[in-house]
Amino acid sequence: MTLKNHFTRLFFFISISLFSLSGCKQQQQQKEYTSWPQYKGSNENIHYSSLTQVDTSNVKQLQVAWEYHTGDADTANHSQIQCNPIIIDSIMFGVSPKMKLFAADARTGKEKWVFNPFDSMTADKKMFFILNNSRGVTYWSDGATDKRIYYTAGSDLYCVNAETGKMVMDFADRGKLDLHNDLDRDVKDLFVTSTSPPIIFNDLLIILTRVDEGQHAAPGHIRAYDTRTGKRQWIFHTIPQPGEFGYTTWADSNAYKYVGGANAWSGFSLDKKRGIVFACTGSASFDFYGGKRIGDDLFGNCIIALDAATGKRIWHFQSVHHDIWDRDIPSPPALITITRDGKKIDALAVTTKSGFGSNC
């Protein structure tokens, strides 16, 4: 779903007791945020660094140390860079306007390598680029010599060697995973991409998608893949199928066969200690017409807590029932700890488009 700034956004907080999540009463240890190894900085999605070298007293003294130019801006077609780069072992990884993955020395800006997805892409898939941007990449390592970058260009998720910039050929189909696959429905002719990067839990690559918003929309199911092989390990149907929780919230028992959307397009956050991945979804399609999807339409417009190891639903909160205003939840939750009545409570802070707050 696209991000539209038509509505006032407010934070609403969902307080989660430690008992209700995992039965664990231990308070979260103080964590230092001194690096930027993943999209938005951390699993908590708080966009925060605890470094203190630069502050309000000296920020005016900053000077340009180096510049890196990708050299592929396409102003005629309004190209842009939306990527939030990551830094691993002093190497910065990012994505250019034409979806090239690059690695550069974060200390000097010197280019290390560039991976061009067009080199391995068929002509029919290049059409997806017109609606494709990359907000970030994902890094994974086995802790030894296997170091990989995952990112999406067009409808393919690529697995690239972080040291060499070459595709890892034993991942999925010779280094790339077609996002049309493994959705438990034939969507080969529909628009499927991913503008936000996956998140890693242990050796699982948890993937989200961006899909169409009209009649011909693919379902926004959430999937996890083996980081080494690219084989699907689990799927969570955001449009429930028979026998699954939420299936009866659709008046048409066949809705799962043709309705699309309800996709987590903006990213994930992860409570690694508890093994919970959090996703926020957009509305089911059509966005502005609900006549063919009567009911509450779970899991559209939801915050969803999933067991990161299995994909099983733990809980959900639906911010809009049967949305016909495209009021997606436009970003994944920020994982925070608040103090209430002298007690620390782990919670989520979530932005909305509706201008209403909610507590639970």
Determine contact, residues 247/240, Cβ cutoff 8 Å: yes
State the average pLDDT over residues 112-121.
Answer: 88
Residue 6 predicted with pLDDT over 50: no
Percent of the chain exceeding pLDDT 90 equals: 79
Q: pLDDT class for 218, splitting at 50, 70, 90?
A: very high
Beta carbons within 8 Å of 190's beta carbon, 6+ residues apart: 180, 211, 212, 216, 217, 218, 260
State the CB neighbour count (10 A cutoff) for residue 39.
Answer: 25
Q: What per-residue confidence (pLDDT) applies to 321?
A: 95
Q: pLDDT class for 279, splitting at 50, 70, 90?
A: very high
Residue 15 predicted with pLDDT over 90: no
Residue 126 predicted with pLDDT over 60: no
Nearest one of 65, 36, 37 to 50, comparing CA atoms: 36
Q: pLDDT class for 23, splitting at 50, 70, 90?
A: very low
Q: What per-residue confidence (pLDDT) applies to 9?
A: 37
Q: What per-residue confidence (pLDDT) applies to 124?
A: 59
Sign (positive or negative) of CA dihedral 153, 158, 162, 165:
negative
- pLDDT tens profile 242-272: 999 999 999 999 999 999 999 999 999 999 9
Q: pLDDT class for 121, splitting at 50, 70, 90?
A: low
- pLDDT tens profile 284-330: 999 999 999 999 999 999 999 999 999 999 999 999 999 999 999 99
Q: What per-residue confidence (pLDDT) applies to 38?
A: 96
Residue 10 predicted with pLDDT over 80: no
Residue 7 predicted with pLDDT over 60: no
Beta bridge partners of 269: 278
Map out the domains of the chain with their CATH numbers. 11-22+80-351 (2.140.10.10)
Nearest one of 118, 265, 139, 121 to 192, comparing CA atoms: 265
Determine contact, residues 44/277, Cβ cutoff 8 Å: no
Q: What per-residue confidence (pLDDT) applies to 22?
A: 35
- pLDDT tens profile 48-89: 999 999 999 999 999 999 999 999 988 887 888 899 999 999
State the average pLDDT over residues 96-114.
Answer: 96
**What are phi and psi for residue 120, nearest 5 degrees?**
-125, 20
